[in-house]
Amino acid sequence: MWRRYLFWFAHEHNDFRHAEIQSILSIFDIPIKYIEKPCAKKPYWIVELPSEESVKKIASRSVLIKNCIELWSSTKSVSQLHRNLKDALLNTNQEWIVKTDPDKGVGEHICPNTLIEACCSANKSFKIEVETFCKHFTMKEKVEKIEAFSYLPLNGPVRLKDPDVTLAYLEYYGVDPNNVPEEPYEVFFGRWVADGQRDLIQYHSLKRRQFIGNTSMDAQLALIMANQARVVSGDLVLDPFVGSGSLLVAAAHFGGYVWGSDIDFMMLHARTRPTRVGQKARTKEESIRGNMRQYGTESLYLDAVVSDFSLPMWKPGMQFDAIITDPPYGVREPTEKIGIERENYTLSEEHLVNHIPSKVEYGLPQLYDDLLEFAANHLKTGKRLVCWYPMVREEECHSLQFPQHPRMALVSASEQPLSRATCRRLLTYEKLTTHTDTRPLPHNAPHNFREKYFALGEITRREKKERKAEEKARAEFYKSKNGVT
């Protein structure tokens, strides 16, 4: 028998919820029914799922869910909530019933009493937790709310730490802290089932990370990307713009074997200017492998190689289970590929030994075309590419078009605001077919995102200082290599 549950979300990255949950559902092949259409503004979903085990599987992966509750009642007022629970004690049916108020013409859903009775055994300890959204209550007020449920036949002892049963009472007061109503818009009551993986955000925090760079991905977003890529144990995962390896850390947490590549050999070898304030020089322990060792996943780290993504290095038959990446946008990290703007340029054998290849700009349209073509050739059918895509909001309003490929289906495009004028979208693609007679479709890519970014005044003094210091460090490193300039 399907049961009704409440998903209570953290109120951040709201636009990512649907994409993350749908990806997790497809990992475990779990069907779902939405009692209400999910709304990004509200911090909750009401759903029906086939079993409690399904709820626990979803919670075992999601970093956006705070907790999942077996829903006993949800209504518009506190008094009606208590009436519903009292009616539920008399509902001997095995299914929910709808009780209609003849005066208001409103139907209230009454849960079966078996849900409540299962928690009322004398040998089961319990506690009731109170949580409110957009309104604060004192501990005394919370206790008064708890005591209002004294009519429930809870026969076991109260235990505040690690009880057998946790009951949850939640009140929702909207999302405007400047216009909080006297009474809640929605109230909920039920049995706690599982917490989401919010603890992982602190566990993987960049503040504690051994090796980070200027553009290291936030831990929460990295875990969301791994979820949307549907990384599971044993998968082979690639990040072709790996940087300091934050996405590899997230993918390895879910059991993926990870591989990275990047054109910036100074970053891969931890020779860039330290990112942390007050740190003068990199330590010997700083590396992607060091990060993997820090989290106990070194055995899942295959390697990271210096490579120009525009020059394919993988054999045609090489297949990955997931590609997750954050390509450079030309703002804090340059978009470069190996090349030279001079025509008919030749290099003598005398200088070839110590030659460091020059680089030219790697335009974003070409970069994303190459990325989609690479994914179409090197992803297994049904597997996913998850990548970030920068946008200027003014352009987004006029034409919302993303890179396309006939062998890759766009599954989701969640937005993260970066500033008043810019944002980026987390694009998730799924490979449809293995046919190779197709090429990427033309699209309105952000040809001059970097120029518009700086024209909008988005760069800060700190970023200017960091870029100058980075350029100086690179110049000194080149000079130290046998006098090469």
Q: What is the CATH number of the domain that holds 309?
A: 3.40.50.150
Order of strands, edge to edge, in the sheet holding 379-392? 301-306, 257-262, 236-239, 320-325, 379-392, 422-431, 408-417
Label the pairing between strands 257-262 and 301-306: parallel
What are the CA-CA distances from residue 204 to residues 201, 395, 398 (Å)?
Answer: 5, 35, 38
Q: Shortest CA distance to 5 belongs to which of 64, 65, 80?
A: 65
Query: Given its phi and psi angles, is residue 478 left (phi above 0), alpha (psi -120 to 50 degrees) or beta?
Result: alpha
Burial class (CB in 10 A: 0-12, 13-18, 19+), 142: middle
C-beta contacts of 413-416 below 8 A and 24+ residues apart: 413/389, 414/13, 414/15, 414/16, 414/19, 415/15, 416/13, 416/15, 416/16, 416/221
What are the CA-CA distances from residue 391 to residues 13, 167, 225, 337, 429 (Å)?
Answer: 17, 44, 19, 22, 18
Strand partners, 131: 170
Q: Which of 197, 221, 237 is the last residue of a domain?
A: 197
* Rounded CA separation 156/404 (Å): 59
152 and 272 in a single domain? The answer is no
305 and 450 in a single domain? The answer is yes
Q: Inter-axis angle of helices 52-59 and 17-28, to 10 degrees?
A: 120
38 and 83 in a single domain? The answer is yes
What predicted TM-score, i.e. pTM, was given to this entire model?
0.89
183 and 219 in a single domain? The answer is no
pLDDT reported for residue 232: 98
Total number of domains in the chain: 2
382 and 253 in a single domain? The answer is yes
Tell me which residue range forms the domain holding 81. Answer: 3-197
Sequence-distant (6+) residues with CB within 8 A of 188 are 6, 44, 69, 71, 73, 74, 81, 168, 169, 170, 171, 172
Report the b/e string of 444-455 with b at 16+ CB within 10 A: ebbeebbebbee
SS3 (DSSP) at 308: coil
Q: Does 65 map to a domain?
A: yes
pLDDT reported for residue 105: 44
Cα dihedral 350, 353, 359, 362 in deg (nearest 10): 130
187 and 211 in a single domain? The answer is no
* Rounded CA separation 259/247 (Å): 10
70 and 191 in a single domain? The answer is yes
Contact 216, 12 (CB under 8 A): no
Q: Shortest CA distance to 408 belongs to which of 367, 377, 363?
A: 377
pLDDT reported for residue 485: 44
Label the pairing between strands 236-239 and 257-262: parallel
Q: Does 370 map to a domain?
A: yes
Q: Does 335 map to a domain?
A: yes
Residue 316: Cβ within 10 Å count: 9
Q: Does 81 map to a domain?
A: yes
Contact 443, 399 (CB under 8 A): no
Q: Does 427 map to a domain?
A: yes
251 and 147 in a single domain? The answer is no
Q: Does 281 map to a domain?
A: yes
The helix (run of H) or strand (run of E) holding residue 191 is strand 186-195
Q: Please give the chain's pLDDT, 485 residues, in tens.
A: 799 999 999 999 999 999 999 999 999 999 999 998 888 889 999 999 999 999 999 999 999 999 999 999 999 999 999 999 999 999 988 888 888 765 554 568 899 999 999 999 999 999 999 999 999 999 999 999 999 999 999 999 999 999 999 999 999 999 999 999 999 999 999 999 999 999 999 999 999 999 999 889 999 999 999 999 999 999 999 999 999 999 999 999 999 999 999 999 889 988 888 888 888 889 888 999 999 999 999 999 999 999 999 998 999 999 999 999 999 987 778 888 988 877 777 777 777 777 778 888 898 889 999 999 999 999 999 999 999 999 887 765 555 689 999 999 999 999 999 888 888 999 999 999 766 666 666 555 455 666 666 666 655 555 666 666 766 776 676 666 555 44
Q: Which of 166, 197, 228 is the last residue of a domain?
A: 197
446 and 334 in a single domain? The answer is yes
SS3 (DSSP) at 133: strand
Contact 386, 426 (CB under 8 A): yes
pLDDT reported for residue 319: 97
159 and 12 in a single domain? The answer is yes
* Rounded CA separation 139/116 (Å): 26
Helix, strand, coil percentages (3-state) for the chain, rounded to 5, are 30, 25, 45
Burial class (CB in 10 A: 0-12, 13-18, 19+), 202: exposed
What are the CA-CA distances from residue 436 to residues 236, 375, 377, 433 (Å)?
Answer: 22, 12, 7, 9
Contact 6, 74 (CB under 8 A): yes
Q: Does 485 map to a domain?
A: no
289 and 438 in a single domain? The answer is yes
335 and 306 in a single domain? The answer is yes
Query: Given its phi and psi angles, is residue 260 left (phi above 0), alpha (psi -120 to 50 degrees) or beta?
Result: beta
pLDDT reported for residue 435: 67
Q: Does 227 map to a domain?
A: yes
Task: Write the CATH number for 34.
Answer: 3.30.2130.30
Q: Which of 180, 197, 214 is the last residue of a domain?
A: 197
